[in-house]
Structure 1
Amino acid sequence: MPDRRNLYFFHKRDEELQEKLDHLYDLARKYDFTVVKDYRNANIIVSIGGDGTFLQSVRKTGFRDDCLYAGISTTEHLSMYCDFYINDISKMAEAMANKQIEVRRYPTIEVTVDGESNFFCLNEFSIRSSIIRTFAMDVYIDDLHFETFRGDGMIVATPTGSTAYNKSVNGSVVDPLLPCMQVSEIASMNNNSYRTLGSSFILSGDRKLTLMVVPDGNEHPTMAMDNEALSIKHVRKIEVKLSDKIIKTVKLKDNSFWEKVKRTFL
């Protein structure tokens, strides 16, 4: 990373964390990195926390595809987006010095609500009923009416998001080298009036998914982009597609996506 020398640290304000942050700042300067206070001036954005903090760092800095993101865990456990321990400064230094770092590219999805509001997701977009009753949506793949869904909701996940909320509803774990998105149901009803596939399905990056909310008194569903909730009333149409934005993350050469999956779940 010889041409990327400006670092921005994204983290919560925490006095207990400050001493460890001081060591990180010293390490960065030792290896001729410049620590900047404005993320717009950075070409490496370092998240310090867990996966939730990493997702927030990407969202709060605008899903930049012109910089690298790195995750540092503040716990004793590495996660899907964190390749380093904050207490293991020596490993970070060794990785920098011996060029043991590679770049991993993660696809994102773009969500458009009622043709106006656009959002990006690194993990998943989810939509759920906001009241204690099911709701219905007409599901379109491109221009094909695929099914009419009634149930608690749906999840549209990226490949990296396939190990999160998507996996908890029995969705498949997808290799992030595949540019695609996965659609998973949450407690669907299947009867003579409503019929769904009953399993998750994967769409290629060239497809567009459209969800049309059936107006039956539940037009204010709860929607979430990664770990951030949206509050939009009278939702009618949601379009989801693979985005052109690719999030580049820093990884160790011996810490692939599938090594992370094995470490986390097996």
Structure 2
Amino acid sequence: MKFNVRTRGDQASNILTQKIKNYLQEFKLDYHEDKPDIVISVGGDGTLLEAFHQYTHRLEETSFVGVHTGHLGFYADWQPDEVEKLVIHIAKTPFKIVEYPLLEVIIRYQGETKSKRFLALNESTVKSTEGSLVMDIEIKGDLFETFRGDGLCISTPSGSTAYNKALGGAILHPSLASIQLAEMASINNRVYRTVGSPLVLPQHHTCIMKPKYDADFQVSVDHLHLVQKQVKAIQYRVAEEKIRFARFRPFPFWKRVKESFIAE
């Protein structure tokens, strides 16, 4: 089995990363940055997001597992003092694959500029670089509403516990192949009217945002922040690809939610 270890970069994470690497090589596993079968993320959820984006081109071949070295990570199953146990599991026992839905983001441009495609594990946000964001929102090809406000957030089920939750969105179980659209401070008057509630779209529904005016936009895809010019439309839907997590022991989703937000 080929493996790679990604570190957050702080001293504690670096030491633990080297320990994991040494242990696995002692078990005759191959360290391979380009084509790993499993990627161990050491740090927090941000570290795992970076690892995910490094390997979006081989999601069918690569699985992920997280070790958290700070605050409890939502995607991290393992504590630093459990590293030896994790290494033995990786080296000696078959692991269960758990798949989570992803968000597909396609940005289309005016003129001859080629469209860009991204995948998000948590969410994508859209904001105007100046003033309010004004967008027509189409669902399944039909105009649903015209949004005016600070911005919009489109999240995956696993990402529904992040920015989406802070915006008042619902927490969705990752077994639901869906995306959620949440508003940031919408303006409602006689000209602009929105439903004023988060929307959950199933797998076969596509959401398209079309700018009402020519403007520059700040589009985020997880931790990536991109300034986009001459945007014609931004398309969102459930991606065909999924992220694969390596599970060596049960860690139910609702237990993660409880431990992240309400456990003492």
List aligned pairs for 1:234-249, cutoff 5 A: 234-249=230-245
Change (3 A) 1:112 1:18: closer
Q: Normalized against structure 2, the TM-score is what?
A: 0.90
Alignment of 1:58 with 2:58, yes or no, is no
Distance 2:254 2:94 in 1: 18
CA contact (8 A) 2:8 2:44 kept: no
Matching residue of 1:24? 20
Q: CA deviation at 1:158?
A: 0.4
CA contact (8 A) 1:63 1:245 kept: no
Distance 1:78 1:150 in 2: 36
- Partner of 2:81, secondary structure, is coil
CA contact (8 A) 1:209 1:239 kept: yes
Alignment of 1:74 with 2:81, yes or no, is no
Alignment of 1:124 with 2:116, yes or no, is no
Q: CA deviation at 1:250?
A: 1.7
Matching residue of 2:175? 177
Give the fraction of aligned pairs with identical amino acids, expressed as a percent: 29
Alignment of 1:258 with 2:254, yes or no, is yes
Change (3 A) 1:155 1:17: closer
Q: CA deviation at 1:70?
A: 1.3
- Partner of 1:87, secondary structure, is helix
Matching residue of 2:99? 105
Change (3 A) 1:15 1:261: closer
Matching residue of 2:140? 142
Residue of structure 1 aligned with 2:158, choices 151, 157, 160: 160
Change (3 A) 1:18 1:143: closer
Q: CA deviation at 1:27?
A: 2.0
Change (3 A) 1:17 1:82: closer
Distance 2:208 2:185 in 1: 19
CA contact (8 A) 2:108 2:116 kept: yes
Matching residue of 1:86? 80
Matching residue of 1:6? 2
CA displacement 1:56-104 (0-9 Å, x = unmatched): 11112235322111111122x3311111123332332464478484321
Gaps of 5+ in 2: 110-114
Distance 1:72 1:152 in 2: 35
- Partner of 1:207, secondary structure, is coil
Q: Normalized against structure 1, the TM-score is what?
A: 0.89
Alignment of 1:43 with 2:37, yes or no, is yes
RMSD of aligned residue pairs (Cα, Å): 1.9
- Partner of 1:178, secondary structure, is coil
Distance 2:145 2:15 in 1: 55
Matching residue of 2:112? none
Distance 2:7 2:66 in 1: 10
The number of aligned residues is: 256
Matching residue of 1:208? 206
Gaps of 5+ in 1: none
Aligned AA (1:84): W
Distance 1:71 1:17 in 2: 12
Distance 1:108 1:141 in 2: 18
